[in-house]
Amino acid sequence: MSAEKRLEQLGIQLPDFGRENKYDGQNYGRMKPYHIVGKVLTLSGQIPQINGEVLYPGRLGDTVTLEQGYQAARVTGINCLAGIKQALGSLDRVKGVIRMLHFVVSAPTFYDVHKVSSGVSDLFYEVYGDKAGIGCRATIGVMSLARNNCFETWSDFEIK
């Protein structure tokens, strides 16, 4: 089944980044939303923002729960899918996830950063399945991110 149809089945609506390089990250400095080299699409950092509003601001293990962090990561994944659609025109042009590097703002004693980043990984598995939806992954606990975001991801995808 195509990723576009699977997304529809899941009832997920993507934000419209358009083709004019609309991308919330550009509010944080000079960058472009994506870059394509050969058959690799790299997305700039994506965060859990909805209509410009930060979802679950704060720190995991302090002001943000594990469940909220997982949902923030999932929303970030939805924003990644919107970035893919912006760059490629269709989610179906993705051959597979190459890698994702996740950043979780966490209290010094919060050790479940990997469980937070599963919000993105689980979403990509649901949309793309085993073969294309699971790639390499790393998660790093950090002290802060711009605008008090609790999560950010940076990702690369293989293009068909």
Q: Is residue 80 part of a domain?
A: yes
Give the CATH number for residue 143: 3.30.1330.40
Q: Is residue 44 part of a domain?
A: yes
Q: Is residue 24 part of a domain?
A: no
pTM above 0.75, yes or no: yes
**What is the predicted pLDDT for the residue at 16?**
84
In this structure, are residues 97 and 159 in contact, taking their beta carbons and an 8 Å threshold? no
Q: Is residue 10 part of a domain?
A: no
In this structure, are residues 84 and 131 in contact, taking their beta carbons and an 8 Å threshold? no
Instruction: With cut-offs at 50, 70 and 90, classify the pLDDT of residue 117.
Output: very high
List all residues 6 or more positions away from 8 whose beta carbon is below 8 Å from its beta carbon.
none
Q: What is the mean pLDDT of residues 65-94?
A: 97
pLDDT in tens, 8-32: 999 999 998 876 556 666 666 777 8
Strand partners, 101: 138, 154
The more confidently predicted of residues 116 and 19 is 116
Q: Is residue 15 part of a domain?
A: no
38, pLDDT greater than 70: yes
Residue 46, both tokens: 């994506």
Q: Is residue 88 part of a domain?
A: yes
- % of residues, the chain, pLDDT over 70: 93
Q: Is residue 25 part of a domain?
A: no
Question: Treating both helix axes as pointing N-terminal to C-terminal, what angle do 3-10 and 113-133 enclose, rounded to 10 degrees?
Answer: 130
Count of domains for the chain: 1
Structural domain containing residue 146: 30-155
Q: Is residue 55 part of a domain?
A: yes
Instruction: With cut-offs at 50, 70 and 90, classify the pLDDT of residue 65.
Output: very high
